[in-house]
Structure 1
Amino acid sequence: MLQFQIIPVTPFQQNCTLFWCDETMKAAVVDPGGDIELIINAIEQQGVTLEKVLLTHAHIDHAGATKALSSHYQVPIEGPHKEDQFWIDLIPEQKQRFGFAHAEHFTTDRWLVQGDTVTFGNIELEVYFCPGHTPGHVVFFHRQSKLAQVGDVLFRGSIGRTDFPRGDHATLIKSIRENLFPLGNDVRFIPGHGPMSTFGEERQSNPFVGDMA
């Protein structure tokens, strides 16, 4: 069974997520943006063994502590899609702009594409390519739990910003409606910031991407 803990990190209160398999106690961290000591503490408190770092996209509040966490546990980095390489290359510039003291450039071990899966313990997450917020954004979905980690694609009552370099509003809307909503109204999702919701709730009431929008 998949278990999870949301760990808000950085001044942006980004929802870094610790996922683990309760049968094997093997784990993955999604989007370690910063505050690495909080992430390490969560891993230790849950008594799990980290197997990999997963990234939805490479904005610094989601990826700033990727290298530090990967190096600390000597585990591989998987994600995002290769179209986010330019954001990884911009981490030094993002670091100066936003004052992230410990963010470092990193090299991912595996780019992800639509239809891929990632695994830890007995857990398998499906990968969905959902560009728009960034060109290489991916989403992770655990079908048995009906749970998705959607990064900055979709929020409760809102959607991701598209005014960053290579963002695209129409592409983002298409990603949500064609890749996420078909997964089911009862799917719960962890967004990159703020509270959880379900795809069904957003279809009903989200002013940007709901059925009536």
Structure 2
Amino acid sequence: MMQYQIIPVTEFQENCSIIWCESTNEAAIVDPGGEAELLKKAVEKLALKVTKILLTHGHLDHVGAAKELADFYQVNIYGPQQEDKFLLDILPQQCVQFGFPFTAAFEPDTWLNDGEIVKVGDIVFDVIHCPGHTPGHVVFINKADKIAFVGDVLFNNSIGRTDFPRGNHLDLITSIKNKLFPLGDDIRFVPGHGPMSTFGYERMNNPYLV
């Protein structure tokens, strides 16, 4: 069974999630946007073995500590989809633009594509390519535990911005309605910022989608 802890990091308060498999104690860190030392302490307190870093998309506030943590734990970075390469290539410029500590450009060890799976211990995550907020955005969903980590695609009563480079509003709405909502109303999701919700609640109540 999967367990998780959500840790908001940096002044942007993005949700970084530590997820782990109870039976193996193996863990992954999803979207470590910054504050690497805080995340290391959380992992240590939970006594977990980090085996992967997972990224939903290439924006600085979701990847800022990814390379540092991957190097520290000697693990690979998975995701996003390769269309977000341009964002990872300009991380140093993003740091200057947003006043973040310097982050060097990097590439993940594995780009992810729609329909692939990622395992963390005995937990299986389906990878869903959900472009719109960024062209290479992916979502990780654990169907067994009915929980998804959706990055900046969907929020509680809101949706991801599409005014960044290569954002596309129509693609975003299509991703949400055609790829996420059909997975079931009872799927809980952890957004990139803010409180959790369910696909069912957002399908019925989200003012940007009804």
Q: Normalized against structure 2, the TM-score is what? A: 0.99
SS state at 1:113 partner? coil
Question: Which residue does 1:169 correspond to in 2?
Answer: 169
Question: Which residue does 2:147 correspond to in 1?
Answer: 147
Question: Which residue does 1:22 correspond to in 2?
Answer: 22
1:3-56 superposed Cα distances (whole Å, 9 cap, x missing partner) = 000010111000000000010000000001000111111111111000010000
Question: Which residue does 1:3 correspond to in 2?
Answer: 3
Question: Which residue does 1:181 correspond to in 2?
Answer: 181
Q: How many Å separate the matches in 2 of 1:124 and 1:158?
A: 28
Q: Cα RMSD over matched residues? A: 0.7
> Does the 8 A contact of 1:67 with 1:105 survive in 2?
no
Question: Which residue does 2:104 correspond to in 1?
Answer: 104
Aligned pairs (5 A) from 1:63-212: 63-209=63-209
Uncovered stretches (5+) of structure 1, i.e. residues with no partner: none
The code of the aligned residue for 2:198 comes to T
> Does the 8 A contact of 2:85 with 2:107 survive in 1?
no
Q: How many Å separate the matches in 2 of 1:88 and 1:3?
A: 29
Deviation at 1:104, TM superposition (A): 2.5
Q: When the two structures are aligned, how many residues end up with a matched partner?
A: 210
| Structure 1 residue runs of 4 or more that deviate by more than 6 Å after TM superposition | none
Query: Percent identical across equivalent pairs?
Result: 56
> Does the 8 A contact of 1:147 with 1:189 survive in 2?
yes
Q: How many Å separate the matches in 1 of 2:104 and 2:22?
A: 31
SS state at 1:190 partner? strand
SS state at 2:193 partner? coil
SS state at 2:133 partner? coil
1:75-134 superposed Cα distances (whole Å, 9 cap, x missing partner) = 000000000000001101001011111423222111101100001111110000000000
Q: How many Å separate the matches in 2 of 1:115 and 1:96?
A: 35
Q: Normalized against structure 1, the TM-score is what? A: 0.97
Q: How many Å separate the matches in 2 of 1:107 and 1:205?
A: 37
Q: How many Å separate the matches in 2 of 1:15 and 1:4?
A: 12
